Chain A
């Protein structure tokens, strides 16, 4: 009886999700004795043509991490979708766009301009830019095209399940792999992590007040953070209340606030909107001037509330020249 075949692929990824698989350490042995990994560029020498040669649905599962930024990544996502029975969006970038999604605050031209012209260390008087198709003396070389915006995986292919986190914790990954091998997955479309907020597993939760009144926002470098007390109670912005658990509140363990990489709980459509709602509701101010003054302590609302989820948000990206005028 042959073992189920699985593939791991990375789109616009940092490789941390691949590392999280390695971090299963000896537990991975149990899993891999039950499966055949047939494509995983980071560790194995199987190439794209090996995937193309497979029959449709030949793969039991394709784990795809990374956001979709280029034509090549789109092509690979579609290829793996055809060849796999199940596609799992692995990690924050595939789930909601991730940190590379912050590029949606700028347009493509701005990214290219900065990288290839404006950066102080760049010498490029001719304004050379990477080309999708280039004639060189020896022939034609090509590069993938960059899309205008960064997308989450389910914005380009149908996704069966999501494993949240940047990267997903060992615990979540093991549980998900076990569920797959035992055929005990929940309803399609589910996020493979409990539907509870981080506060639930945070060791500081006993010090979280029933009624939270925020009088001031302090940024982590401006204060000494008490390692035992709820961060919001200390005035340090923490996304714990609006973020799904599963990571063991690891950042809190490092004495820093949660930044929201596990994404929202089940009934939330737009993580950032919900986060800003929760945080602002508890401001200890009711007059315009006082509210505005307190909010000055949040210097970057978009980057703070949509750190990992901008592409998946209802707005998706910044628009230019509002008023219906051209960007």
Chain B
């Protein structure tokens, strides 16, 4: 959790990029020496359809101030339908986050193809600034001081 005063606040953004498109685009941005904000931590998933909404919530729970999802353009998914599933989940998740009081700009979905390294640069810079303006996301910590860690999974699931 970030305790920095707002003017030096560095947002921490977790980015879930699909391997075939957006992750490749990020590589392209890198090899092309495009500079962009270092605030994103990229997690590579095989398809945006692999994105379980639990990943997004885990990221927020663990201190992320924003979550960015990158997938192939509609129609271009390597696994045909995966990005559509991602889109449907994204819309419902966004409504849920709204009800939970989390600013809309903290969750973003972008379609970025393998050749669009410049979009990775643009979207990342944009999102980092948006979240910087919003400030840190202070989730309520449910644990009473000195007690059971709340990020432990109850019920034996790992």
Contact = CB atoms under 8 A, between A and B. Distances in A.
B99 A105 contact: yes
A286 interface: yes
Interface in B13-64: 52-54, 56-58, 60-61
A301 B74 CA distance: 26
A190 B156 contact: yes
Contacts of B133: 323
A285 B92 CA distance: 13
Nearest to B52: A277
A274 B52 contact: yes
A273 B101 contact: no
Contact of B142 (A263, A279, A288, A317): A317
Given A155-B143, A270-B57, A316-B139, A295 B150 contact: no
Interface string A188-201: 01110000000000
Contacts, number: 163
Interface in A289-316: 291-292, 295, 298, 300-302, 305, 311-316
B58 A269 contact: yes
B87 A266 contact: no
A300 B100 CA distance: 11
A312 B142 CA distance: 9
B156 A155 contact: no
B104 to A, nearest CB: 9
Interface stretch (A26-34, A48-56, A127-135, A156-164): A156-164
A319 interface: yes
A109 interface: no
B95 A295 contact: yes
Which of A189, A269, A281 has the largest count of B CB atoms less than 10 A from its CB? Answer: A269
A97 to B, nearest CB: 9
Q: How many A residues are at the interface, by size bracket?
A: 35 or more
Contacts of A301: 92, 95-96, 99
Contacts of A285: 88
Which of B6, B54, B87, B158 has the largest count of A CB atoms less than 10 A from its CB? Answer: B54
A263 B153 CA distance: 13
A295 B92 contact: yes
B92 A276 contact: yes
A288 B84 contact: no
Interface in A250-279: 263-264, 266-270, 272-274, 276-277, 279
Contacts of A154: 148, 152, 154
Interface in A127-177: 148-149, 151-152, 154-159, 162
Nearest to B131: A323
A120 interface: no
A280 B140 CA distance: 27
A325 interface: yes
A273 B95 contact: no
A295 B89 CA distance: 10
B136 interface: yes
Contacts of B147: 155-157
Contacts of B152: 154
A293 to B, nearest CB: 10
Interface of A: 74, 95-96, 105, 148-149, 151-152, 154-159, 162, 187, 189-191, 263-264, 266-270, 272-274, 276-277, 279-281, 283, 285-286, 288, 291-292, 295, 298, 300-302, 305, 311-325
Given A273-B54, A277-B89, 8 more contacts: A151-B144, A157-B148, A266-B155, A270-B57, A291-B87, A295-B91, A312-B154, A324-B138
